[in-house]
Amino acid sequence: MAVLDAGQAAVTGRMRFKLPPALRIALLQIALLALLLAAWELAIRFGFIAVYLYGQPSGIIAKAGKLIGSGELVRDAALTAWEAIAGFLIGTVLGSAAGLSLWLFPTGAAVLRPYLVALNGLPKIALAPLIIVWFGIGLSSKIAIAAIITFIVAVITALQGAKEVDADLVKLLRSLGASRWKTWRTVIVPGAMPWIVAAFRLNVGFALIGAVVGEYIASKEGLGYMIYYAGVLYDLNAVWVGIATLMAVALLMYGAIDLIERRLLS
């Protein structure tokens, strides 16, 4: 009996100290990253891959510390984040509103559809030179590129979400005498909200692409410029620092989208 009690106590103790699922996943993610970096570092040190082609984790950390200490990385990250966030908000909000509004005008939506599809399929980098000419090489051109890219995606996604709302529910409201405007306001907009939130997630990446492309073409600051200039100098450690910082900005933006999603869909 004492042996059984001891066994039950041991099992209870293991269960008591079991890590929460979220913490366990976070630790596994950190462990995976550490494992990849360690393997990369060892491959460089033992000569399996060339440092001048791939960079080196220890060199990347040292370069990041240097750029943070000089304030250059913080300045460039803040600028690119501001360009991406401003472009994201302008393009996504206006695009979502336009896409939802097109449900009220089915003829207009049918007329505009091929143009929207063509613009969506167009490589957006082709528009960058025009936007630089129209808006100059300052901050506004980077925001404009990000806004245009996200606007097209938001319009198409919101319009499709409006079309996917339960048709039977729409017919029921119309049969009860609800106007097209009231149907749109009470059924279409709430029903399309999951699609709009999905467009938010897509547009995080597109907004960053727009900001970075603009910095590639015409800029002397920002993460895009830093990555481009470091690549020209074959400073791959600095390139990786820029890429990692862009990923961190994207994760922060995704975290903000999660908060918005909880508010909109709760």
CA end-to-end span of the chain: 52
- The pLDDT value recorded for residue 168 is 80
- The pLDDT value recorded for residue 5 is 55
- The pLDDT value recorded for residue 125 is 77
- The pLDDT value recorded for residue 9 is 53
Residues 154 and 99 sit within 8 Å (Cβ to Cβ): yes
Residues 124 and 150 sit within 8 Å (Cβ to Cβ): no
Return the axis-axis angle of helices 139-163 and 189-217, rounded to nearest 10°.
Answer: 150
Taking only the tens of pLDDT, the chain with its 266 residues reads 454 455 555 545 554 567 788 888 888 889 999 999 999 999 999 888 888 888 899 999 999 999 999 999 999 999 999 999 999 999 999 999 999 999 989 888 899 888 888 888 888 778 878 888 888 888 888 999 999 999 999 999 999 999 888 888 878 877 777 778 888 888 888 888 889 988 998 899 899 998 998 888 878 888 999 999 998 888 999 999 999 999 999 999 988 888 877 776 66
Counting DSSP H helices and E strands in the chain, the numbers are: 13, 0
**Spatial distance between the Cα atoms of 40 and 137, rounded to a whole number of angstroms:** 38
Count other Cβ atoms within 10 Å, centred on residue 261.
17
**Spatial distance between the Cα atoms of 204 and 201, rounded to a whole number of angstroms:** 5
**Spatial distance between the Cα atoms of 241 and 245, rounded to a whole number of angstroms:** 6
Q: How far is CA 76 from the centre of its chain?
A: 18
Phi, psi of 205 (to 5 degrees): -65, -40
